[in-house]
Amino acid sequence: MVVKQKLLLDQKPLDPNEILVAEFEYIAATAFQANEDRARVSSYYLMTAGAAVAAILGAKIEGEMPPVGYWGFAVVFGALAFIGLLTVLQLARLRSAWRSSAQAMNRIKDYYREHCPDAHLEEAFAWTTETLPEPTKRGSVAFLLALSVILVDAGAAVAGAAFMGIAMNWTLSQIWPLLVLVGVVFIGIQFKLYFDWVAK
């Protein structure tokens, strides 16, 4: 018991600045990781979609294809559209995670601004709690990445619907309204989900 008390007396008092610096560095690392993951997720989907389309276009199809072939293409493009939807949701959550990290960093900045008024720290900070960009900001890199995925996977959904219509022997006048409907609805659903998930 005496040894334990001596060890406690020998320890240096905790420095709150060290804890805050460590916390700030951890939060900065999580914000950086969220940005890296956004680029990786969107690039992966766009490369996957491009490879699938290139493989289909590169396939040598001679003569008329049986309906099962068109159904196969419809399933492939439908799967691409679904994976794209999941990618959009991932991008939304990563944007939300980045903003949570930025808010946590600003909380530490606010602490120092409040407790060190003589340092005029507000002049050094580009972002504060009041000026942090909104999570749904249009024109941000996060939004543009999501937009590119939304457009590509909406194209995949439209292609899947087109192949489904061909497999069912629909005429062009029957297929066109379906394609427009699928494209508009799929884009609308993805935008709504993106903005809802970003705001969570």
Provide the residue ranges of all domains of the chain, joining segments of one domain with +: 17-199
Task: Give the pLDDT confidence score for residue 10 in this predicted structure.
Answer: 54
pLDDT, mean of residues 56-76: 79
CA distances from 186 to 102, 125, 147 (A): 31, 41, 13
Q: pLDDT grade, residue 151 (50/70/90)?
A: very high
Task: Give the pLDDT confidence score for residue 57 in this predicted structure.
Answer: 74
What stretches of 81-181 adopt beta strand conformation (E)?
none
Q: pLDDT grade, residue 194 (50/70/90)?
A: very high
Task: Give the pLDDT confidence score for residue 58 in this predicted structure.
Answer: 72
Q: Name every residue whose Cβ is closer than 8 Å to that of residue 194 and which is 6 or more positions away in sequence.
A: 88, 89, 91, 92, 146, 150
- The type of residue at 13 is P
pLDDT, mean of residues 43-69: 79
Verdict on whether the full-model pTM lies above 0.85: no
Task: Give the pLDDT confidence score for residue 21 in this predicted structure.
Answer: 84
CB 184 within 8 A of CB 191: no
pLDDT digits (tens, 9 = 90+) for 121-144: 777 777 777 778 888 888 888 899
Phi, psi of 147 (to 5 degrees): -60, -40
CB 153 within 8 A of CB 83: yes
